[in-house]
Amino acid sequence: MDTPKAMPEVGKKAPAFTLESDTGEKIRLSTLQGKPVLLFFYPKDNTPGCTVEAKEFRDALPQFKKMGIRVLGISPDTVKSHCNFIEKQSLNYTLLADPDKKAIEKYGLWVEKKLYGRVYWGVQRATFLIDAKGKIVATWTKVKPKGHAEQVLAEAKNVL
């Protein structure tokens, strides 16, 4: 694996991607311009931390919608896995499958990780808030799942 790409910075245009959604629809970031978009990248469906984060975004979705923000979750899981995760956790927003890690790599989130002395490659949990013009207005890296959705909501009120 090559050196990971740098994460896109606040003020820069969000890297473009096209990914398949949980409904089988192809979602292009470029077609979502005109409204703010929240991308949260997470490692794996139905794991403890990812479930906490996903459920918090589920519960906060009415507040994000009030602000006109579209919430999208992205992981390397398959569409089938996403469908199972959505059903099991009653998620109310779109999940995008990135099994080839194309978007994950564009956002600089395919990184070397260490756990109990073991070194491996995985997805760094991170969130990007993109304004209606396609520019990144806020980022959160090395996210702790608990309380993250509230943290994002509070910041979104300041930057949008």
State the Cα–Cα distance between residues 78 and 98, nearest whole angstrom.
7
H/E stretch holding 64 reads helix 48-66
Name the token pair of 31.
């077609």
Residue 66 class from Cβ within 10 Å (0-12 exposed, 13-18 middle, 19+ buried)? exposed
Catalytic residues: 50
- Two tokens, residue 3: 């050196």
Helices 79-89 & 48-66, crossing angle to 10 degrees?
A: 80
In this structure, what token pair is assigned to residue 78? 């398959």
d(CA 85, CA 73): 11
DSSP H or E stretch at residue 74: strand 70-75
